[in-house]
Amino acid sequence: MRDAPAPAVPSLPRGGTDWADRAVTAAVWSVALLFTGVFLWIVGDLVRHGLPHLSWGFLTDAPMDAGRAGGIAPILVSTFLIVGVCLAVSLPLGVGTAVFLAEFSRGESLPARLVRGSLDVLAGVPSIVFGLFGNALFSLYLGMGFSILSGGLTLACMVLPILIRSTEEGLRAVPDDYRKAAAALGLSRTATLWRILLPAATPGLVVGLVLGIGRALSETAALLFTSGYVARMPGSLLDSGRSLTVHIYDLAMNVPGGEANAYATAVVLVTLLLVINMLTFQIADRWLHRRITRT
Amino acid sequence: MSRRHSPTRGAHPGTDRPAGCEDRQPVMEVQDLSVRYGNAPALRDVTLTIPRGCITAVVGPSGCGKSTFLTCLNRLSDLVPDCRVTGSVRFEDRDILNGDTDLVALRRRVGMIFQKPNPFPLSIRKNLTFPLRHHGSPSGKALEEKVEQILCQVGLWDEVKDRLDAPALELSGGQQQRLCLARALVLEPRVLLLDEPCSALDPITGGVVEDLILSLRGQYTVVVVTHNLAQARRIADEVAVFWVRHGVGTLIEDGPVGQIFDAPRSERTAEYVRGIRG
């Protein structure tokens, strides 16, 4: 632009903050690069140390020699069960609460303010505190002991605030036009909610779900106290089960010579997270599409 | 736009329009209707009779309570927190402002179209079948026929027949508004409330929707809120002029379109329709 011929009309005065603009641009770019770099470093480190120890057998065998040898089959199963229990409880409760907050308490009622306040506090509570609470309530008071059930329920408590908040935001982002249109057609509130509002809020729900699953999969502290660290194949939800994160912690901290398998397990965990994220978005996309077109 | 002046279009009411409005039978009788939002009065003492089969245009400057008035006629005002409606609206032998009114039945009989087209984020077909099914209407072949018939009625069938399962939000604004009209008509209402149905559309598509509204005359009772005086003059049989008095909306004059535009009783109306005020 600088070489362009001088315009006939007086040009706009040049801003005097050119250097500041450039500095900010440079800063923004370096922050972005820094974060990408850190992410790549972590993944690269994991892959470099973990990949050589990965094999099909690692996924299908039971651990041996305190995890130094063998695989992680029972640990994978326990992890899935714990996350499954967590979602089975938190999803209906979370969506229900979000519906209450977004659709049935528009006027900032006292119950809504109480629920929202509690959620904000809960979202900030350290996971070890959730662990202590889960241990006291589920393991001891309710007699579930160290079990997959206790662990899953404790995780559900942790995941709920995230799930509720993002589903609520999703519902609030649905234009009021739909509510008005539905009411003007004499559609019941339930039908409107079920057929129009919730599907329209699905993107928010999916984000909450992905964040929630991420938090559940990566939780360690809360599970140490609740689902325990027995590395056997669980026979039921009342058996103790070791999650992938607890396994990594144990191998890295308590088992001399366990680092290699700790890395391999970490690669499995990160891959699992990525796969679940992608699958969740894709399934939601497909479901939404079906919802739009199916008669 | 020359289409507007074709001989079949009614610039002069009562001469060349389809039958159905002549006997001026009241279908809705509004008595002393007042509306407050919290402590702020929005509408005061509106008394108006809506004749069966006619097109009643509600006109007036911004903020004079036209839309508020309209939402009282199907109790959509209930959706607004702190909205208090007093007075009475008689429709089919009952006061619909009563607490025991069956809102589902009321809104099925009194349909509504909004300023901004608001089809559901569903397919074109489902926009029509979802409300129908909810109200327990036929399924299978009968439903398909109904969808086709109603889309033909709003002139949308030829444009969408090959893509009924496409998302309705992919349609153009005018098509969306006609779909919304179809969605309201498919429930076979007696009264249709239209809240500035053409003002979010460009003049050409607005004209298409306007023609459509005119085609409903006789078959349905239509109450249309509009900013567009020329439109009111073109399509309305009856006109109600709202005004802001002491910060509150109120009805200042109503009557046949000829009276309002050619021989208004109120000085304000005269200035308003001549474009001097408002």
CA nearest B75: which of B56, B93, B88?
A: B88
Q: Which residue of chain A is at minimal alpha-carbon distance from B120?
A: A178
Predicted pLDDT at A27: 95
Q: Which residues of A touch B104 (CB under 8 A)?
A: 186, 188
Q: Which amino acid is at A133?
A: F
CA nearest B165: which of A74, A294, A246?
A: A294
Please judge whether A292 and B121 are an interchain contact, meaning their C-beta atoms are less than 8 angstroms apart. Answer: yes
**Residues B155-174: what's their mean pLDDT?**
89
CA nearest B184: which of A187, A291, A292?
A: A187
Q: Which amino acid is at A124?
A: G
Predicted pLDDT at B1: 37
Please report the residues numbered 69 through 98 in chain A whose beta carbons come closer than 8 angstroms to any beta carbon of chain B.
none
Residues in chain A: 295
Contact B66, B241 (CB under 8 A): no
Predicted pLDDT at A82: 95
Please judge whether A184 and B111 are an interchain contact, meaning their C-beta atoms are less than 8 angstroms apart. Answer: yes
Residue B67, pLDDT > 80, answer yes
Predicted pLDDT at A290: 75
Residues B133, B140: Cα–Cα separation, whole Å: 11
Residues A292, B4: Cα–Cα separation, whole Å: 38
What lies within 8 Å, CB to CB, of A83 at 6+ separation is A152, A155, A213, A216, A217
Q: B142 — contact with chain A (CB < 8 Å)?
A: no
Please judge whether B123 and A293 are an interchain contact, meaning their C-beta atoms are less than 8 angstroms apart. Answer: yes
Q: B122 — contact with chain A (CB < 8 Å)?
A: yes
Q: Which residues of B touch A202 (CB under 8 A)?
A: none
Alpha carbon of B273: minimum distance to chain A alpha carbons (Å): 31
Q: Return the higher-pLDDT residue of A105 and B197.
A: B197
Please report the residues numbered 166 through 185 in chain A whose beta carbons come closer than 8 angstroms to any beta carbon of chain B.
175, 177-185
Q: Which residue of chain A is at minimal alpha-carbon distance from B143?
A: A295
**Residues B221-230: what's their mean pLDDT?**
92
Q: Which residues of A touch B122 (CB under 8 A)?
A: 196, 291-292
Please judge whether A293 and B126 are an interchain contact, meaning their C-beta atoms are less than 8 angstroms apart. Answer: yes
Residues B138, A141: Cα–Cα separation, whole Å: 55
Q: Which residues of B touch A193 (CB under 8 A)?
A: none
CA nearest A99: which of A213, A204, A214?
A: A204
| Residue B154 structure tokens | 């709003």
Kindly write down the DSSP assignment for every residue of chain A, as one continuous string.
-TTSPPPSSPPPPPPS-HHHHHHHHHHHHHHHHHHHHHHHHHHHHHHHHHGGG--HHHHHSPEEGGGTEE--HHHHHHHHHHHHHHHHHHHHHHHHHHHHHHHS-TT--HHHHHHHHHHHHHHHS-HHHHHHHHIIIIIIIT---SSHHHHHHHHHHHHHHHHHHHHHHHHHHS-HHHHHHHHHTT--HHHIIIIIIHHHHHHHHHHHHHHHHHHHHH--HHHHTTT----SPPSSTTS----HHHHHHHHHHTSTT-HHHHHHHHHHHHHHHHHHHHHHHHHHHHHHHHHHH--
Handedness of CA A257, A261, A264, A270 (dihedral sign): negative
Half-sphere CA count of A211, side-chain side, radius 13 A: 17
CA nearest B31: which of B118, B122, B95?
A: B95
Predicted pLDDT at A265: 93
Q: Which residue of chain A is at minimal alpha-carbon distance from B124?
A: A293
Q: A295 — contact with chain B (CB < 8 Å)?
A: yes
Contact B223, B191 (CB under 8 A): yes
Please judge whether A183 and B130 are an interchain contact, meaning their C-beta atoms are less than 8 angstroms apart. Answer: no
Q: A200 — contact with chain B (CB < 8 Å)?
A: yes
* Structural domains in chain B, sorted by start: 25-118+188-273 (3.40.50.300)
Alpha carbon of B151: minimum distance to chain A alpha carbons (Å): 17
Predicted pLDDT at B207: 87
Q: What's the mean pLDDT when you consider all of chain B?
A: 86
Residue B7, pLDDT > 50, answer no
Residues A135, A225: Cα–Cα separation, whole Å: 6
Please judge whether B121 and A196 are an interchain contact, meaning their C-beta atoms are less than 8 angstroms apart. Answer: yes
In tens, the pLDDT along B146-160 reads 889 999 988 889 898
Per-residue pLDDT in tens (0 to 9) along chain A, 295 residues = 455 555 567 777 766 668 888 999 999 999 999 999 999 999 999 999 988 888 898 888 888 888 888 889 999 999 999 999 999 999 999 999 999 888 888 667 788 888 888 998 988 899 999 999 999 999 999 999 999 999 999 999 999 999 999 999 999 999 888 999 999 998 988 889 988 899 888 888 888 889 899 989 988 889 988 998 888 889 889 899 999 999 999 999 998 988 889 999 999 999 999 999 899 888 888 887 777 765 4
Please judge whether B165 and A293 are an interchain contact, meaning their C-beta atoms are less than 8 angstroms apart. Answer: yes
Predicted pLDDT at B41: 92
CB neighbour burial string for A120-152, b if at least 16 within 10 angstroms, e if fewer: eeeeeeebeebbbbbbebbbeeeebbbbbbbbb
Please judge whether A106 and B120 are an interchain contact, meaning their C-beta atoms are less than 8 angstroms apart. Answer: no
Residue B17 pLDDT grade (very low, low, confident, very high; cuts 50, 70, 90): very low
Give the predicted TM-score (pTM) of the model: 0.79
Residue B179 pLDDT grade (very low, low, confident, very high; cuts 50, 70, 90): very high
Indicate the residue of B130, B165, B183 with minimum beta-carbon distance to A195: B130
Residues B272, B193: Cα–Cα separation, whole Å: 23
Q: Which residues of A touch B121 (CB under 8 A)?
A: 178, 196, 199-200, 292
Please judge whether A186 and B183 are an interchain contact, meaning their C-beta atoms are less than 8 angstroms apart. Answer: no
CA nearest B114: which of B169, B192, B47, B221?
A: B192
